[in-house]
A = this chain, B = another copy of it.
């Protein structure tokens, strides 16, 4: 697990330095980038924290980076800062999932508070994702056939029915079922259903 980092992307070097100094003053690791491309190249998809992002930048604007990130399923919380913003811009940024939009000049504490909130939110997301990946990993251990049987089980079918559906002997279904339970480590049908629902399987 990587440590949490505050990423700063701003084309203004002085602003980058100022932000770096501010954020490091509260003992948070900071990485600064002067362009969106620079950030995208050096960003480690496994790291977490938050992104402090200038709106107006050459070659790639803050908006474009935000979209790029959301398309790449990178869910790093974004805090926009800008000196030239207007309301439609702020609204659009928020609609696109930014967690804050701060205008320059800003109050230092205001930004730090926002960063803390963002990091907290990202940590929650990370914990949640980790749990999900873990559960998904458990399910991925099943063979295709076992998964097939498992899905039929959690849809409420009995072994006998599953046997008819899959055109195999009920005895084989029993074997698969037992394998599913031992491999997933679930000790009851209820737990198995819960597991599958958690990872997003729906039996509509």
Contacts and interface: CB of A to CB of B under 8 A. Distances in A.
B203 A194 contact: yes
A193 interface: yes
A92 to B, nearest CB: 10
A155 B190 contact: yes
Interface of A: 85-88, 90-91, 94-95, 99-103, 153-157, 187-191, 193-194, 197, 203
A153 B190 contact: yes
Contact of A95 (B94, B157, B197, B203): B94
Contact of A87 (B90, B95, B190): B90
A86, A101, A102 — most chain B CB neighbours (10 Å): A101
A182 to B, nearest CB: 15
Contact of A197 (B87, B100, B189, B197): B197
Contacts of A156: 187-191
**Most B CB atoms within 10 A — which of A156, A157, A187, A203?**
A156
Contacts of A103: 87-88
Contact of A94 (B85, B86, B94, B155): B94
Nearest to A89: B87
Contacts of A102: 91
Contacts of A187: 156
Nearest to A86: B87
A168 B187 CA distance: 24
A149 to B, nearest CB: 13
24 contacts: A86-B87, A87-B87, A87-B90, A87-B103, A88-B103, A90-B90, A91-B100, A91-B102, A94-B95, A95-B100, A155-B190, A156-B187, A156-B189, A156-B190, A156-B191, A157-B188, A189-B189, A189-B190, A190-B193, A190-B203, A193-B193, A193-B194, A194-B203, A197-B197
